[in-house]
Amino acid sequence: MNDFHPGSRYLSAAFGVTWRYLHNLYTRPAQFIPSLLFPLFFLAAFAGGLSVVADSPDFGYYDYTAFQFSFVLIQASALAGVFAGFSIASDFELGMGRRMMLATPNRSAIVLGYAIGAASRLGVTWVLVTGVSLLAGMDVGGGGLDLAGMYSLALLGNIAALLFSAGIALRFRSLQAGPLMQMPIFILLFLAPVYVPQALLTGWIEPVASVNPVTAILNASRSLLAGEPTGVLAAYAIAFGLIAALTVWAITGLRRAEVAG
């Protein structure tokens, strides 16, 4: 037995989980490449195919590619969290979860490790999505601080999605729960003003979007990219609120996994 400081030991376990997650991700292209192509497909389909929407007189945003970029950035970040949730489910289904539960004194370090892993993989995703958007002619209105705020919101979306997926994965401990992780995130994302600004939404989607927490985050992200920050504090408050609630969800999932053995 070693007498390592408990805090250091906790972080060591979390980083161990992160290392393995990233190692397996980057050494298995079949797992990693689709997760990169996914947001690029959405960017091409929306920004390319729907750019005429920006010609609408009430559109009110400076650039349609930039408009879609904000959505794809948040979507790609959230899905990176969901994919990490898939890994948790797979690990528990195939036995590695048990090894980690057995070797880690404080088991919340396991969830933290996956969360760090999910956030770490964002770097590559962000560079790719941003690079392709810039090549497609996206204008960037905001300054460095605005962009930092925009990427931070995407990071918070990633953490929230990971915590939601982790809660599902730890409750079911099977990859068969994959749709339960992915679908709610997808639905929540697409019930936000994806194609047009919120002001242009009509019908049933308008009231739904107005209470969807993703709407506030997406609107704030777009305002930061435009260099005209609006509703940013509210967006951060919502994001942190989601993370707080979903942390409870993930930790109670961990407790369920512990009880199930």
Partner 1 sequence: MPVPADNGIEVEDLVRQFKNGPRAVDGISLEVKPGEIYGFLGPNGAGKSTTVHMLTTLLPPTAGIARVAGFDVATEGPLVRQVIGAALQEAALDPHLTGNEHMRLQTALQGLDREDRRARGTELIDRVGLSDAADRKVGGYSGGMKRRLDLALALVHRPRVLFLDEPTTGLDPQSRSALWEEVTRLSKEDGVTVFLTTQYLEEADQLAERVGIIDAGRIVAEGTPAELKAEIGRPSVEVVPRDPARADESAAILKRFGRPVPAAGEALGVRLSEGIDELVGIVRAFDEAAIELASLVLNEPTLDDVFLARTGHHLEGDEGAGDSGEIPLPDGATAG
User: Which residues make up the interface to partner 1 (CB under 8 A)?
Assistant: 1-2, 4, 8-10, 12-13, 15-17, 19-20, 23-24, 27-28, 94-96, 98-106, 258-259, 261
Instruction: Write down the least CB distance from residue 142 to partner 1, Å.
Output: 39
Report d(CA 53, CA 64) in Å as an integer. 8
Q: Which CB sits closer to partner 1, 3 or 55?
A: 3
Work out whether the CA dihedral 78, 83, 87, 93 comes out positive or negative.
positive
Instruction: Write down the least CB distance from residue 169 to partner 1, Å.
Output: 17
Q: Which CB sits closer to partner 1, 9 or 197?
A: 9
Instruction: Give the pair of three-digit tokens for residue 191.
Output: 């019930």
Instruction: Give the pair of three-digit tokens for residue 104.
Output: 């880690």
Q: Is 62 left (phi over 0), alpha (psi -120 to 50) or beta?
A: alpha
Q: Which CB sits closer to partner 1, 14 or 201?
A: 14
Q: Which residue has the tokens 């679908």?
A: 183
Q: What is the DSSP string of 50-73?
A: TGGGGGSTT---S-HHHHHHHHHH
Instruction: Write down the least CB distance from residue 175 to partner 1, Å.
Output: 15
Residues 6+ apart with CB under 8 A from 31: 24, 25
Q: Which CB sits closer to partner 1, 3 or 58?
A: 3
Instruction: Write down the least CB distance from residue 246 to partner 1, Å.
Output: 24
Report d(CA 14, CA 154) in Å as an integer. 22
Q: Which CB sits closer to partner 1, 10 or 62?
A: 10
Instruction: Write down the least CB distance from residue 90 to partner 1, Å.
Output: 10
